[in-house]
């Protein structure tokens, strides 16, 4: 059976409120005009990500679309990230009207500034 390289499995997700709070409180933040990364080095073998989209950004349809685009960008670029990090990606209002290319640009710019990209 062939292993999918670009999947988004449960082992790559931060789900619980407690795990988000740990990253918020102990991690460091990288700020951009469109979104914010909170990163925390961990002793795990892989990278985990959680997406945060607040209710002020729009109705459920808009928020779910934003999360889908964020997941897609992470899914396609997770092989380029260094292992052993927890990331919380927080969206800002301007990201609500953006297209996939903008999400990709923002993600890679923040990952580069956070020194998360492999050489």
pTM for this model (two decimals) = 0.89
Find the helix or strand (DSSP H, E) in which 86 lies: strand 85-91
| pLDDT value of residue 1 | 47
Task: Determine contact, residues 96/55, Cβ cutoff 8 Å.
Answer: no
How many other β-carbons are positioned within 10 Å of the β-carbon of residue 118? 8
The domains found in the chain, sorted by start residue, are 11-113 (3.30.230.10)
Share of the chain above pLDDT 90, in %: 76
Integer Rg of the chain from CA: 14
pLDDT band with cut points at 50, 70 and 90 for residue 3: low
């Amino acid at each position: 059976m062939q292993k999918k390289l670009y999947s988004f499995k449960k082992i790559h997700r931060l789900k619980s409120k407690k795990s988000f709070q740990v990253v918020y409180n102990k991690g460091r933040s990288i700020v951009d005009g469109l979104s914010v990364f909170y990163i925390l080095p961990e002793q795990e073998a892989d990278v985990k990500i959680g997406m945060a989209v607040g209710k002020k950004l729009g109705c459920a349809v808009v928020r779910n679309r934003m999360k889908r685009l964020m997941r897609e960008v992470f899914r396609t670029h997770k092989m380029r990230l260094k292992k052993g990090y927890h990331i919380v990606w927080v969206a800002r209002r301007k990201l609500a009207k953006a297209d996939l290319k903008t999400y990709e640009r923002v993600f890679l710019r923040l990952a580069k500034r956070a020194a998360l990209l492999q050489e």
